[in-house]
A and B are shown apart, each in its own frame.
Chain A
Amino acid sequence: MNESDYQALMEKSWRRPLTADEQARLDAWLTTHPQQQQADWELEVTVSGLLTQLPNAPMSSSFTAQVMLAVERDLAAQSRQPGLLAKLKRWLHIPAPRLAWALGLIALGWFVVHQHQANVRSDTAKGLSVMANVASLSNPSMLEDFESIRRLNTSEDEELFAVLTTQ
């Protein structure tokens, strides 16, 4: 037996009393080692004994009944929940629908972004077409007198037109 075997036996002794064979191996090891190690082991065994004999925590006799009462209350509260909501909650707890939800949300997100980009592209195209029409107009110098002509009284034109037609 070496130091690591000793350590392994110690770890076993933390959980349960050693078997006769393990105890014999340990005793053989301890006799070949200094007094201090024997004292340490004795203390180790004592602490294990004390820990094993720790009394159970005090507990009321109605513990289980109270837990079951709380469970019944919980079930009653669940049944009072709106059926659809409860079903949805239960459904969301199952991995596959959760995955479906996640995929659905991703798809929706993608659709919204895609739609937004399409709208931007369409707006840009409309803007470009307007600009193209502006570019195809005649020489802008032709419009120089547009405002003056527009302000002229149209009735004078009509009179002039009438004179011309009678001649």
Chain B
Amino acid sequence: MGAGFARVRTVMSTVPDPDAALMLRVKQGDVAAFEVLVEKYKQPVMNLVYRTLPDATEAEDLAQHVFLQVFKSAPRYEVSAKFTTWLFTIARNLCLNEIRRRSRHPADSLDETYADNDEQPIRQVEDARIFAPPETLLQGELEEKIEEALSELPEKQRTAILMCRGDELSYEDIAKVLECSVSATKSLIHRGRETLKQKLKPYLKTGAWKEG
């Protein structure tokens, strides 16, 4: 046991990724370290899941399930994998499973799948757009159009574009999550963006975007 902890300490001192270090603590049963990770990544995970399953409640259930899966898989976590790559791979796989499950049983709801969530309080999700002042309506319309255009993209193109938005994941990391090469990933993003541009062109030509 002592040797095990010593090994973890040695690995942690050589781990450049702080998330990986936290994950090693989770691996040793540190629930507080897991809470830190949940707090840090809940929004990025939710953003990805929500744009794959565009129902706030079901997306939230699935996002919670992603983190539960991360916790359950902690004993198998290896530092060789970047934490975010591992996290988003789990998130994407669960989304794909859910899409497949829905295609087999279209009428089922996620609530039936995760029935052990019954005791949880009813969520209160605030939709900020409902209360938006009139001057932000143009911007809101554009957001709606881009959300719509995004939802119509093939899953791989959409996921690649969404993961490419921030600095969190490199092209190499995105390629790992999508299980394809870096050049294929860039091609997916390029094609997806081309589709977005074509779909948004009519709205952008009006200058609504600039005024917004």
A residues contacting B by CB (< 8 A) are 11, 14-16, 43-44, 46-47, 49-64, 66-75, 90, 93
How many contacting A-B pairs (Cβ < 8 A)? 118
Complex CA gap A47/B200 in Å reads 8
Say which size band chain B's interface belongs to. Answer: 35 or more
Q: Is the CB of B31 within 8 A of A57?
A: no
Q: Is the CB of A51 within 8 A of B161?
A: yes
Q: Which stretch, B13-21, B43-51, B87-95, B98-106, touches the partner chain A?
A: B43-51
Residues of B within 8 A of A50 (CB): 142-143, 146, 200, 209
Q: Is the CB of A51 within 8 A of B146?
A: yes
Q: Is the CB of B46 within 8 A of A66?
A: no
10 smallest CB-CB distances across A and B, nearest first, come from A57-B50, A60-B123, A58-B125, A57-B46, A67-B67, A50-B146, A70-B68, A57-B47, A58-B56, A59-B46
Contacts A63-B38, A67-B68, A70-B67 aside, 6 further interface pairs with beta carbons under 8 A come to A50-B146, A54-B150, A54-B165, A58-B50, A62-B123, A68-B34
SS of A interface (majority):
helix
Q: Is the CB of B165 within 8 A of A73?
A: no
Closest CB-CB distance, A95 to chain B, in whole Å? Answer: 10
Complex CA gap A125/B112 in Å reads 65
SS of B interface (majority):
helix
B residues contacting A by CB (< 8 A) are 31, 34-35, 38-39, 42-43, 46-47, 49-51, 56, 59-60, 63-64, 67-68, 71-72, 75-76, 116-117, 120-121, 123-129, 142-143, 146-147, 150, 161, 164-167, 171, 186, 189, 193, 196-197, 200-201, 204, 209
Q: Is the CB of A66 within 8 A of B143?
A: no
Q: Is the CB of B189 within 8 A of A14?
A: yes
Instruction: Tell which of A59, A73, A93 touches B60, judged by Cβ atoms closer than 8 Å.
Output: A59
